[in-house]
Amino acid sequence: MIGSEIGRYHILEEIGRGGLGIIYKAEDPVLLRNVAIKILPPTLVSETESRDRFIREAQAAAKLNHPNILGIYDINEHEGMYFVVFEYAPGTTLEAKMEKQPVFELNAAAEIFVPVLEAIDYAHQNNVLHRDIKPANILITDENHVKVADFGLAWLESEQSLNETGTALGTFAYFSPEQTRGERLDRRTDIYSLGVVLYQMLTGKLPFTADNPAALIEAHLTQEPVPPSKSNRAISPAVEACILKALKRNPDDRYETVTEMIEAFTKGVYGEARMPSISPTEAAEYNTRGSTFYKQGNLDLAMAEWEKATEKDPYNALIHNNLGTAYDGLGKVDLAVSEYEKAVQLNPNNFVAHYNLGSAYYRVGNLDSGIAQYKTVVALNPKFAPAHYNLGNCYYKKGDFDQAVAEWQNTLANKPDHAEAIYNLGNASWRKGKFEEAHEQWKHTLEIDPNFALASFNIGAYYYKEGKFDEAKAEWDKALSTNPEFAEAQYNMGILAYERNQLGDAIEAWEKVVKIRPTYWQAYYNLGNAYYQKDDLALSEENWKRTVELRQEYWQAHWNLANLHAFRLSRIQEALLGWQAVTALKNDHWPAYFNIGETYFNEGKMELARLEWIKVIELNPKYWPAYHNLAAIAYALGDYANAISWWAKSLAYLVFAWP
């Protein structure tokens, strides 16, 4: 088995054996961590009761997520072998520690026992019993953290025990009387076992001993324990009372809950009760209310309830994930990311939390982190089509089109009618110049979803490219019938009308565009052009100015405005500022330099005009009017030699080489 693979896990070494299986240390290559794996012995695989019990134990314990509970990550089957994947926590057991140190000083015992109490209390509030509490199942890690391990006999309190017929399981020394009788159990059976463990820690002895199981069972059923202070005078009356109450034969005489036992024990040790701050029971109530509000669409109230729930149970991955969805829906993406990260940390095997985290990263533009999360999702659940689809989107945004195509194909392998994936494959084909292939893929998209407006829009673009303008218009009409607010489709309808010299239709289309999307600067620019052709100078100016407001760097709008101001509205200074804006944005735009020069010349600023026309010649050496104007300046200044030279060049380029 060492060095082999079981599921996705790589077996490293054997680290233990128990009644229900062999335990191995293994590596999880997906989540990049070491784990412990318990494998049901092959001899027991054929036994339905053992196999079912093995599976149900893991399912019950996997619900628990607490720093003092050894976590269960996965339960699965591989080639007939059933196995459970645990948190790997190297260290020792309380049993081994007690062999070296049979009696604990009270405060030292409390450092171990209080975390055990809190772990069992947490499990009980989640309706899970342990049923096998003993020192061998209490771990002290190398980092000195206490963890309750092997909920090997754990069961949901709402279920019947598999052993109602009287078959006893576990270690008899720690069994409650009702457990030895094979009765239906509740949380008070664990309280009894806790009392046995605490008695042993403080005295170095078990409360009941016998030579054989039958006699030991009889002792639990009929005898009273010797008060622990008889063996250890340091035990205070309050702590002794706590132990003896837990060890009452009648469950009704014990503590009703572990919470009560925590209060009594900590008060006896420290002089005041030290209660855990968490309450899974209250958290569950808040979570239920949050879910109700969420289903009603009231995200603010859902958020408030789930925030309270996470305060009461910060170890519940599901609640953190729920709170993340509320933050997400309210546009609080940074907070959503934080909650999804907590959910993933608490339950790394939950592919839904990874998926939500990846989606949040995608929305904030963190593509690399999004890719990492989506890759984890598809490793955990290879058939989850949405993760393949979103992974493809991430790769596409990063410009890795081959990877994007591969993931969209994986999407279709798991969900052949995924319209969005087919549509995106069409986009990728178009980008690669495979226009016919793109056309077919978009058509296929519409076969699956006739109302997929983007596919109709792109087919229209295909027809437009092919010169099939009527077909293009029909597709854009279809897109708009599906989505009347589709600004790009409306914009293209304007382009088509403009090219057909249907200025009225073009203006109507573009006016709709800016009403739908007031920031669509291209539509304002085109409206300016159309109104100019209709000689509506006021509206052309208004729309070009709006273009400049929205897109300051779009030099064409500055150019049009400057020419309008100069040649139609006689507003020369505004024109001058416009041409200067053009040259600032596009420093090789020689016509703007030429017009600036003419403005300076008309104002008598000869030197400034000369510098502008010299710039024109540098950019366009064959533009004869610039030479002509430079000659005029030289002549006006009495520099006849240079004037003749400039006119000669002007004439040469006019006659022979002006483009």
Domain span at residue 68 reads: 5-87
| Mean pLDDT lowest among 1-5, 32-36, 643-647 | 1-5
39 lies in the same domain as 70: yes
User: For residue range 59-77, what is the model confidence (pLDDT) as tens digits?
Assistant: 777 888 999 999 998 888 8
Provide the CATH number for the domain around residue 66: 3.30.200.20
Q: Say yes or no: 272 and 246 in one domain.
A: yes
pLDDT digits (tens, 9 = 90+) for 340-394: 999 999 999 899 999 999 999 999 999 999 999 999 999 999 999 999 999 999 9
Q: Which of 245, 276, 307 is the last residue of a domain?
A: 276
**Structure tokens belonging to residue 275:** 């209660």
Q: What is the pLDDT of residues 234-276, one digit of tens each?
A: 999 999 999 999 999 999 999 999 999 999 999 999 999 999 9
The pLDDT value given to residue 213: 85
546 within some domain: no
pLDDT for 158 equals 29
What is the reported pLDDT for 589?
Answer: 98
pLDDT band at 78 (very low <50, low <70, confident <90, very high): confident
Total number of domains constituting the chain: 2
- Are 24 and 99 part of one and the same domain? no
**Under 8 Å between Cβ of 123 and 64:** yes
- Asked whether residue 102 is assigned to any structural domain, the reply reads yes
- Residue 211 above 90 pLDDT? no
Q: How far apart are CA 35 and CA 72, in angstroms?
A: 10
268: in domain: yes
Confidence label for 39 from pLDDT (cuts 50, 70 and 90): confident
What is the average per-residue pLDDT within 117-126? 95
pLDDT band of 160, cuts 50, 70, 90: very low
**Bridge partners for 303 per DSSP:** none
Which one of the listed residues 28, 74, 121, 132 is annotated catalytic?
A: 132
Q: Are residues 77 and 100 in the same domain?
A: no
pLDDT score at 20? 62
387: buried, middle or exposed (CB in 10 Å: 19+, 13-18, 0-12)? buried
The C-alpha atoms of residue 183 and residue 232 are separated, in whole angstroms, by 34
What percentage of the chain exceeds 90 in pLDDT? Answer: 83
Using one digit for the tens of pLDDT, what is the confidence trace for 434-466? 999 999 999 999 999 999 999 999 999 999 999
Q: Give tens-digit pLDDT for 272-331.
A: 999 998 999 999 999 999 999 999 999 999 999 999 999 999 999 999 999 999 999 999
| Mean predicted lDDT score pLDDT of the chain | 92
- Domain stop point among 87, 119, 154: 87
- Mean pLDDT for 212-232 is 92
Query: Where residue 150 sits, what CATH number does that domain have?
Result: 1.10.510.10
Q: Is residue 367 part of a domain?
A: no
Burial class (CB in 10 A: 0-12, 13-18, 19+), 310: buried
Q: What band does 19 get if pLDDT is binned at 50, 70 and 90? A: low
Kindly state whether residues 234 and 147 are assigned to the same domain. Answer: yes
**Which 3 state secondary structure label does DSSP give 28?**
strand
User: Based on the domain organization, do 95 and 219 belong to the same domain?
Assistant: yes
In which band, very low, low, confident or very high, does the pLDDT at 657 lie, cut at 50, 70 and 90? low
Contact status, residue 545 vs residue 561, Cβ threshold 8 Å: yes
- Are 246 and 148 in the same domain? yes
- Quote the pLDDT of residue 152: 56
Any idea how long the chain is? 659
The tokens of 492 are what? 């293209």
Q: Please give the pLDDT value at position 44.
A: 62
Predicted structure pTM score: 0.78
**Structural tokens at position 340:** 């999804």
The DSSP bridge pattern shows strands 155-156 and 9-18 to be unpaired
Of 503, 451, 504, 499, the C-alpha closest to 473 is 499
Whether the pLDDT of residue 155 is over 60: the answer is: no
Could you tell me if residue 413 is inside a domain? no
Do residues 141 and 72 share a domain? no
Q: What is the mean pLDDT of residues 215-239?
A: 94
Residues 13 and 64 in one domain: yes
Q: What is the DSSP letter of 161?
A: P
pLDDT in the model for residue 46: 65
Is 132 an active-site residue?
A: yes
